[in-house]
Chain A
Amino acid sequence: MTQPIIEIKDLALSYGPQQAVLNNIQLSLERNSVTAIIGASGSGKSSLLRCLNRLVELTPNARITGDIMFEGESIFGARVDPTILRQRIGMVFQKPNPFPMSIFENVAYGLRLAGEKSPRVLQEKVEQALLAAALWDEVRDRLDAQAAVLSGGQQQRLVIARAIAVEPEVLLLDEPASSLDPISTLRIEELIYRLKQDFTIVVVTHNMQQAARVSDWAAFMHDGTIVEYDNTTTLFTNPREVRTEDYITGRFG
């Protein structure tokens, strides 16, 4: 692996006095690659994603120890502005959450937040993002319609367009294809494959076959720790750890 874009060191997280939900996390993310995070419900996948852009700090009582290096610098450094960090490390949430506004405004939202005022630039960037998210053809004639009228799969691609409009360097996708039909799911996967040319992608998924299809690297989480991290082919054909084997082959743990 060349110089990783993100390096997680001894990361631990707790949401209060209860026991930690993340423990001793070490992980290096390769630039322009897709890393899949798999693991049972409650194992800490979403929590780990939320650490990467410091979103977790918005949860009261959340306590992080350890460090996360992004392009060689700690994301917890005094000079780091969390808002700017979240622009550079974008996130798409587990449930598609379009804002109650038009399709256009949904995608323009982050750009306006970042201070973009020129209608021409906004128009151009919204179109680019919708094209990249493979949604443009389906919405070009109704950009002023409410986002809520879109189908589930279209909403999912809309929130991806919203995330990539601000041109982040890293894209965090939490279950981007849950509750989608197989064709929409394949579209999202195809999209992930194309997007990795421009972004580094971390995708959380419950669908093992999906992780095997889209990712270059895969991490298996269990009880807040990373049990195994390897290139995807190795992890799915010849995992080192019995716990990984049991999980991906569907055996009793």
Chain B
Amino acid sequence: MLGNEHQKQHISGQFNSELETLKNDILAMGGLVESQLTLAVAALLEKNSAKALLVIENDQSVNALERRIDQECARILARRQPAAGDLRLVLAVLKINLNLERVGDEAAKIAKQAKVIVESNDSGSQFVQLRQLARPVMRTLRQSLDALARSDVMLALQIVREDVSLDTLYGEAMRALIKHMQANPVAIGTVLNELWALKALERIGDHASNVGEQVIYMVKGQDVRHLTAGEMPVWHSE
């Protein structure tokens, strides 16, 4: 369950329901940006501009939900002055919200690149590198949302640890694309668009990792940002 390890109710039923709404909304936000990403990647790989347009349109809803979640957090902070686990929940949700909105932005960027590529009529590329990066990035985002939904620290920790391997994959893909571009100067336009999409995927991986860090803070109260692998705390699954 998102939030507290123990599930006692607040004496204030109203406060209880405010926290429940907040938890539901941040999970809904996660679901929304995840489907945006899936749709954007499909638009790109299938060269489907209708899907791309849908992603660009939906970005409005992502922004609206981001604003609503921020307002809920501000209201709880001002009116309830939450402490301990409740405070960490609100602080974590604020940051997770920000990161998820950025995931939405990056998905919209991918959709825009997809649109440009489709319109340029350059059907040469098979998107080998994009495919290679898209799959693990989408999996990582999914895992970070699972970790959030279940307050799963072990999973969150794994995501944070594995962020380096996504970065490595990105570096390799980028070098391969640049090589491809040098060998085929006519494809420069499309490859540049692919590079932008690739960069967007890499950013999404970073945001997913940030969500993982916030899940750890929310549950354990520990700030694991900017720690090296060796400095990471060790917890045992319960």
Q: Which one of B11, B87, B88 lies within 8 Å of A251 (CB-CB)?
A: B11
Interface-centre pick from A236, A237, A239 (highest chain B CB count, 10 A):
A237
Q: Which one of A208, A212, A249, A252 lies within 8 Å of B85 (CB-CB)?
A: A249
Residues of B in contact (CB 8 Å), total 16
Question: Are A238's CB and B88's CB within 8 A?
Answer: yes
A209–B87 CA distance with the chains assembled, in angstroms: 13
Question: Are B83's CB and A237's CB within 8 A?
Answer: yes
Question: Are A251's CB and B83's CB within 8 A?
Answer: no
Q: Is A242 an interface residue (CB 8 A)?
A: yes
Q: Is B184 an interface residue (CB 8 A)?
A: no
Closest chain-B Cβ to A240's Cβ sits at a distance in Å of 10
A245–B6 CA distance with the chains assembled, in angstroms: 10
- Provide the A233-253 mask, 1 if CB < 8 A to any CB of B, else 0: 000111100101110111110
A252 contacts across to B, CB distance below 8 A: 8-11
Given contacts A209-B81, A238-B221, contact A250 B87 (CB under 8 A): no
Question: Are B84's CB and A248's CB within 8 A?
Answer: yes
Q: Is B82 an interface residue (CB 8 A)?
A: yes
Q: Which one of A236, A242, A244, A246 lies within 8 Å of B87 (CB-CB)?
A: A236
A248 contacts across to B, CB distance below 8 A: 83-84
Closest A residue to B16 by beta carbon equals A251
Q: Is B12 an interface residue (CB 8 A)?
A: yes
A246–B10 CA distance with the chains assembled, in angstroms: 8
Closest B residue to A244 by beta carbon equals B84
CB within 8 Å of B: which A208-240 residues: 208-209, 212, 236-239
Closest chain-B Cβ to A243's Cβ sits at a distance in Å of 11
Question: Are B82's CB and A249's CB within 8 A?
Answer: yes
B86 contacts across to A, CB distance below 8 A: 249
Closest chain-B Cβ to A22's Cβ sits at a distance in Å of 25
A246 contacts across to B, CB distance below 8 A: 8
Question: Are A208's CB and B8's CB within 8 A?
Answer: no
Q: Is B196 an interface residue (CB 8 A)?
A: no
A144–B88 CA distance with the chains assembled, in angstroms: 52
Interface-centre pick from A248, A249, A252 (highest chain B CB count, 10 A):
A249
13 A-B Cβ contacts within 8 A?
A212-B83, A236-B83, A236-B87, A237-B87, A239-B84, A242-B6, A248-B83, A249-B84, A249-B85, A250-B15, A251-B8, A251-B10, A252-B10
Known: A236-B83, A250-B11. 17 other contacts (CB 8 A): A209-B81, A236-B84, A236-B87, A237-B88, A237-B221, A238-B221, A239-B84, A244-B84, A246-B8, A249-B10, A249-B83, A249-B84, A249-B85, A250-B15, A251-B9, A252-B9, A252-B10
Q: List the 9 closest pairs (A to B, CB-CB), nearest first.
A: A238-B221, A251-B8, A248-B83, A245-B84, A236-B83, A249-B86, A250-B11, A249-B84, A239-B84
